[in-house]
Chains A and B, each alone.
Chain A
Amino acid sequence: MVKKHLLAYIVFILIIIFFPFFVKSSYTLSIAIFAGINALIAMGLSLLMGYAGQVSLGQAGFYGIGAYVSAILSLKFGIPPVLSALIAALVASVAAIILAIPALKLKGHYLAVATLGFGEIIYVILNELGPGGPSGFGDIPHISLLGYKFISATDHFYLIWIIVFLLIIFSFNIIDSRIGRAMRAIHDSETGSSSMGVDVPLLKTKVFVLSAVYASIAGSFYAHYVTFISPSTFSLFHSVLILTMVVIGGASSLWGAVVGAIIITALPEALRKFEELDVLIYGLILTLSLLFLRKGIVPTFIDKIKGKR
């Protein structure tokens, strides 16, 4: 089962290794880092949505928890960033469990609005109770691992994309296991799944927690990379952006989440030169790709290769 992904894994890691050799501009590199951060959140949402069939418009909430908890712990309490990120992931998991128990009973639009509400509440909390209020705070320490301090863009590029690489293997392994089969089974028929002994609410909650952990790790990385955070980064807008990445890339494919994250992150930068037309062109590209690549970029591409219609 690992074999079917092996080629993709190798190509992926080679691109990661060699990208900084060809791209020297620190600006481009920073965009690539943000793409990696978004890819992480999108992968979590892809597992939740594309595989287990549960929508979330609240991923920015977990992203924000990861950033704020880790930043505050390391800045105010001197906890090393890697440890503080782990604690943040734990906090995000607890938040996910508390939200999941009532929310995952809901379906479709109702689940979407419940998670949206959660994300907005976190956003308001960050604004009102976070250090610095709406303007945020800085001086967050960089990540250091085994005595090595990550400072340059190249350092951060390798770190985030290696995290993405490891977690994509982790995620594909889950998909190709009894857990992943049960997840997809829930997506197709909850009645059928529970008659097969799959504990539907429990499994949904677990996948939800997993997606929250991915988003939280992304948030912690963001905080320690940028070293300055403010609530506006973690608004509903970001949740919608992540959802767009997953849908554009192809919800039924983890690679789709990664590709979608790269495209959606890079597109606004590429459109900068159109100045006041950039939002319009961005919207048009999204609309057209949704209209013409309905399954998403990656699945459409795979179908082409396989020669299916």
Chain B
Amino acid sequence: MLKIDGVWKTFGGITALMDVSFQVKKGEIKALIGPNGAGKTTLFNVISGVYKPDRGAITFEEKTISNLNPVKIAHLGISRTFQNVELFGRMTVLENVMVGRHIKSKAGFFSSGLRLPGMINEDREIRRLSEEILEYVGLKDKKDYLAGDMPIGSQRILEIARALATEPKMLLLDEPASGLNDAETRDLSLFIKKLRDEKDITVLLVEHDMGLVMDISDNIVVLNFGEKIAEGTPNEIRNNKHVIDAYLGEEDLF
């Protein structure tokens, strides 16, 4: 589904990604792990169009996307969350999800300003669908809270809900468990599996919590200093010598 082919990215002499290649198959949950500074978030930014790769190509469903901007990539069906939550803090929980419907709706300035019938129907539909999504993720009773006022755990779920509103084929989750406690993390892993099973969404995630990664991933890619050093099932990764070396000295081993 997603194919990353020989991607390079440098920032002022520092090579953040070095010839990285792997694939994500439809319907799988794939994790991207590696020590701090390994280039995981950079790779996410390259996939989602924030950065352009210096070399190499990324294809999504046979289409080359490495030269597209984030807006076009969102339209193709890739949606993402952010390591440091990029919610709309002064808007309500419901409104945040409603913004997620932006690409699936089309009313412009005039039809909105004049409240033409087509726009009213569309807006009602946006609201209904967004409430449905909030119900699905269990935030419906908080729909009128300001997003910025919510605890971090709820914010991360809300960010996923907002991404779901774009009806993505693929979801990129950047450290979805960071800042969550153990119980919340367990809920999150169930939730991610549920998304894949019920909504048929392919998931690529960056995560430091190895418990979560080992629990939910079908496949794992390991990056170290911008290079792919291993790829395989959780079991293969657990016993891979390169991986153990790379993580030596890091506090959270498996």
Contacts and interface: CB of A to CB of B under 8 A. Distances in A.
The 3 closest A-B pairs by CB, nearest first: A192-B86, A197-B103, A177-B112
B33 to A, nearest CB: 22
Given A2-B115, A174-B112, A181-B95, A192 B102 contact: no
B90 A184 contact: yes
B162 interface: yes
A173 B162 CA distance: 23
Interface of B: 48, 50, 69-71, 74-75, 79-80, 82, 86-91, 95, 98-103, 105, 107-109, 112-115, 119, 122-123, 126, 162, 166
Nearest to B80: A195
B85 to A, nearest CB: 8
Contacts of A174: 109, 112-113
A195 B74 contact: yes
A155 interface: no
Interface in A187-203: 187-189, 191-200
Nearest to A181: B99
Interface string A150-185: 000000000000000000001101100111111011
Given A173-B115, A198-B102, A188 B88 contact: yes
A195 B48 contact: yes
A182 B104 CA distance: 13
Contacts of A192: 82, 86-88
B87 A193 contact: no
A185 B162 CA distance: 12
Interface of A: 1-2, 170-171, 173-174, 177-182, 184-185, 187-189, 191-200, 206, 210
B102 A197 contact: yes
B241 to A, nearest CB: 37
A174 B79 CA distance: 26
Contacts of B74: 194-197
18 contacts: A2-B115, A173-B112, A177-B119, A178-B122, A179-B112, A181-B99, A184-B90, A187-B88, A188-B87, A188-B89, A189-B86, A192-B86, A194-B70, A194-B74, A195-B79, A195-B80, A196-B103, A197-B103
Nearest to A206: B109
Nearest to B95: A181
B212 to A, nearest CB: 23
A196 B49 CA distance: 12
Contacts of A184: 88, 90-91, 95
A2, A187, A191, most chain B CB atoms within 10 A: A191
Contacts of B105: 178
B25 to A, nearest CB: 23
A44 B86 CA distance: 27
Contacts of A170: 113-114
A23 B215 CA distance: 75
Contacts of B113: 170-171, 173-174, 177
Given A173-B114, A173-B115, A197-B75, A178 B86 contact: no
A178 B91 contact: no
Contacts of B126: 178
A182 B70 contact: no
A200 B99 CA distance: 13
Nearest to B70: A194
Contact of B98 (A181, A187, A193, A195): A181
B71 A199 contact: yes
B50 to A, nearest CB: 8
B86 A191 contact: yes
A262 B70 CA distance: 43
B119 A193 contact: no
Contact of B99 (A2, A182, A206): A182
B144 to A, nearest CB: 13
Contacts of B98: 178, 181
A195 B168 CA distance: 12
A142 to B, nearest CB: 28
A258 to B, nearest CB: 17
Given A181-B95, A195-B74, 5 more contacts: A178-B112, A189-B87, A196-B166, A198-B99, A200-B71
B90 A188 contact: yes
Contacts of A200: 71
